[in-house]
A and B are shown apart, each in its own frame.
Chain A
Amino acid sequence: MRTFIYCLFSYLTLLNHAHAILNIDIVGGKEEGGHPIAIVPFNLQPGTQTHQDLARIISNDLYRSGRFSPMPRHILPAHPSQSNQIRFKHWKTAAMPHLVIGRISGGVVGGYTVEFELFDVFGSKRIIGLRYTATPQTLRQVAHQISDEIYYALTMERGVFNTLIVYVTLQRQGKRTQYHLYVADADGANSRLMLRSNEPILSPSWSPDRRHIAYVTYAHIKRNKRMAVYMQEIRTGKRTLVSAKRGLNAAPAWSPDGKRLALTLSKDGNPEIYIMTLHNHSLTRLTHHHAIDTEPEWAPDGKSIVFTSDRSGQPHIYRMPVKGGKARRLTSNGIYNARPRLSPDGRKLALLHNSGQGYRIAVLDLENGHLKILTKTTLDESPSFAPNGSMIIYATGSELAAVSIDGRVRQRLSVDLSEEVREPAWSPFYR
């Protein structure tokens, strides 16, 4: 009987991992000098058992940022877990300027205590040391928080290791296709199914408080099949219909204060951008042009909206004040510029760009007008900024990928072969 239960338990644990479908590989840039760092496996107090390898999670986090080269575990010269066990000369010899050690105590029943310390090897001194409490469910999150602390201490930038992503997958089964909407940790773990549908799911968009996702799908409304915008609370799964008028109901985008949603409707005869006040669903029309106006995106100060319009004959990006007024064109190069996303500081614009070599992700510097093409693939789409502005996640072919804002580091996020992945969106920071 005991063997039976043990087998069952380990099988269930394996199942958990079987659903973490995203695997992240770095495909470029790692040779060009990631900062070396040694991360020693955390010491488990006798009697403590966990199924998470925290040092491994931290090491993978830092590696994936493209800015660190963690020392391979099998050549670590020593495994200290207390500061008095450290012999700095070992680490100096190994050319490791920084060292991370840690300890875990406690258990499943009473909870865990996790401690880590970051050392400056050549200065022989501690930079930071912190203690956390955790449950088995929050251990991974603690590891990501530790990665954030180390990242900040060494780069002065806020890390994005404790953030989330949302994405859509498509599975073909003969003539049928099935769509899934998932939320997962930014490292691909813990994917949670939010919606399953035989109809397409598009344009997932995070609320600023990270509690809701708005998206587009198709539904039967008043005995008619219609495109519809929904919002869904992640924790409870509760869904609210936002808009299902005749024609287009698409491209939902939350205002920075979370109280309004910009969206594209064609109820007045043509795709235009409207702003909906969420508490009473009242609508204000923003654009008034017979061309396609869509893909609204709020500026971080909430005062203007950038969007895609083909009013000039080809799709370009424009900016308009939220209270109405003239639309100012932002893009000039190329024959196709669409799907704008502003960086968190509002100074850069990621977009889909084509100037004859295919559809690529590019970044426009709004201050000097310089456009930089970041990808070499030709059927890219859906760029989304990390909340610290350092990376852009996007879809390419039927996979997700990420690229650093300077174009140096590229990652491929690979999935189950049976599923196509698209429409990623990176969450805001946890508030």
Chain B
Amino acid sequence: MKKWRNLGLIFALITLAGCANKAVQKPKTVTSSRIPPPIFRPMPTIPNIPKGSEVSTGITDEISGSMGEAQLGDIPNQRIVYFDYDMSVIKQASYTVLEEHAAYLDNHPDIYVRLEGHADERGSREYNLALGEKRAEAVKDSLMTLGIFYNRLNTLSYGEEQPIARGHSEKSWWQNRRVEFIYP
């Protein structure tokens, strides 16, 4: 009996070893890890519905207060800007969000932001990488127009690779056509 238990253990070890790099010449594999997700990720709001009374209290405080260390509560609530199909034009409904983030960045001159651009799943993956990048750049351009120095605005596109919603209809697609503000 002991022999079979030992055999079983050895088989398990071999299987586990086999689940790692299985190439004959053992090519080097590189693992890279994700940057941890932002601490606060709000539910997406429906576009075209005007923002209600949910003004971030952090921003109001900052206007009267001094420029200090960034606090989590200061970052604007709404961190996603949405886009129409195959478009990278900033929609009117997004103006308020952009202004809030420009104000936040203005009050925290040490802070850099990464603008992550996304697309819905339809069409070519590579074309969607470019579309996500164009969307991120559109947001970057708007923030620059609002006075933020280009050096603090990084863009990164994930194309269709990181959807928020995984369904195959417009119900999911609109949520994925977006740019997210990613703060350190």
Q: How far is the CB of A411 from chain B (nearest CB, A)?
A: 22
In the complex, chain A residues 203-229 whose Cβ is within 8 Å of any chain B Cβ:
203, 216-220, 224-227
Q: Which residue of B lies closest to A340 (CB)?
A: B124
- Write out the residue numbers on chain A whose beta carbons fall within 8 Å of the beta carbon of B168: 379
Any A CB within 8 A of the CB of B29: yes
Q: How far is the CB of A236 from chain B (nearest CB, A)?
A: 7
- Write out the residue numbers on chain B whose beta carbons fall within 8 Å of the beta carbon of A234: 27
- Write out the residue numbers on chain B whose beta carbons fall within 8 Å of the beta carbon of A304: none
Q: How far is the CA of A15 from the CA of B14 in the complex (A)?
A: 9
Which of these, A197, A237, A271, A339, contacts B26 with CB under 8 Å?
A237
Q: Which residue of B lies closest to A175 (CB)?
A: B37
Q: How far is the CA of A28 from the CA of B25 in the complex (A)?
A: 38
Choose the segment among A59-67, A140-148, A244-252 that binds chain B (4+ C-beta atoms closer than 8 Å): A244-252
- Write out the residue numbers on chain A whose beta carbons fall within 8 Å of the beta carbon of B31: 196-198
Q: How far is the CA of A359 from the CA of B26 in the complex (A)?
A: 38
Q: Is there an interface contact between B27 and A381, defined as CB atoms closer than 8 Å?
A: no
Q: How far is the CB of A57 from chain B (nearest CB, A)?
A: 19
Any A CB within 8 A of the CB of B97: no
Any B CB within 8 A of the CB of A49: no
Q: Is there an interface contact between A197 and B32, defined as CB atoms closer than 8 Å?
A: yes
Q: How far is the CB of B140 from chain A (nearest CB, A)?
A: 10
Which of these, B23, B86, B125, B158, contacts A423 with CB under 8 Å?
B125
Q: Is there an interface contact between A336 and B35, defined as CB atoms closer than 8 Å?
A: no
Q: How far is the CB of B124 from chain A (nearest CB, A)?
A: 4
Q: Is there an interface contact between A235 and B30, defined as CB atoms closer than 8 Å?
A: no
Which of these, A192, A198, A220, A295, contacts B124 with CB under 8 Å?
A295
Q: How far is the CA of A422 from the CA of B29 in the complex (A)?
A: 19
- Write out the residue numbers on chain A whose beta carbons fall within 8 Å of the beta carbon of B108: none
Q: How far is the CB of B166 from chain A (nearest CB, A)?
A: 10
- Write out the residue numbers on chain A whose beta carbons fall within 8 Å of the beta carbon of B24: 137, 192
Interface residue ranges, B against A (CB under 8 Å):
3, 7, 10-11, 14-15, 18, 21-35, 86, 114, 121-127, 129-131, 133-134, 137, 154-159, 161-162, 168
